[in-house]
Amino acid sequence: MENEDHCKAIYLHVLTTNNTAIHFYENRDFRQHNYLPYYYSIRGVLIDGFTYVFYINGGHPPWTIFDYIQHIGSTLASLSPCSIPQRLYRQAQSLLRSLLPWSNIASKTGIQYSRTMCSFPRENR
């Protein structure tokens, strides 16, 4: 069935006192999802429960604040911020060459520019 691929998680409820069932589910990679106080009423007695979850078909738990921080950090690292000045320099040089034909003189005479990434001269103190 096509709809089976859309299912991302299987949830189940269990009494907090049902240790045999809890161990059974945990041994099959179900993870505790929620604590449910007074969820069941058995013979008029309120009993706590747990919700367990098993993720399938690429499903995953909701992101936490730490997941967002990690994602932002890896995205920033992939941008290579130290290479931005070098890229800007190359784009400006290319634009200058296209606008001013005589700007190619520097490259024809063998003049080279330093392309050291992220190294800035230290100030004299």
- Please list the residues that pair with 40 across neighbouring strands: 47
Structurally, at CATH architecture level, domain 9-81 sits in: 3-Layer(aba) Sandwich (3.40)
pLDDT given at position 79 = 76
Q: Over 90: is that where the pLDDT of 87 sits?
A: no
Under DSSP, the state recorded for 49 is E
| Higher local confidence (pLDDT), 96 or 24 | 24
pTM of the model: 0.52
Task: Please name the amino acid found at residue 80.
Answer: S
- What confidence tier does 98 reach under pLDDT thresholds 50, 70, 90? confident
Q: Over 90: is that where the pLDDT of 50 sits?
A: yes
Please write the tens of the pLDDT for every residue from 54-80: 999 989 888 889 888 888 888 877 777
Q: Which of 54, 55, 53, 51 is nearest to 16 (CA)?
A: 51
Most confident of 21-25, 71-75, 102-106: 21-25
Strand ordering across the sheet containing 31-42: 9-15, 45-55, 31-42
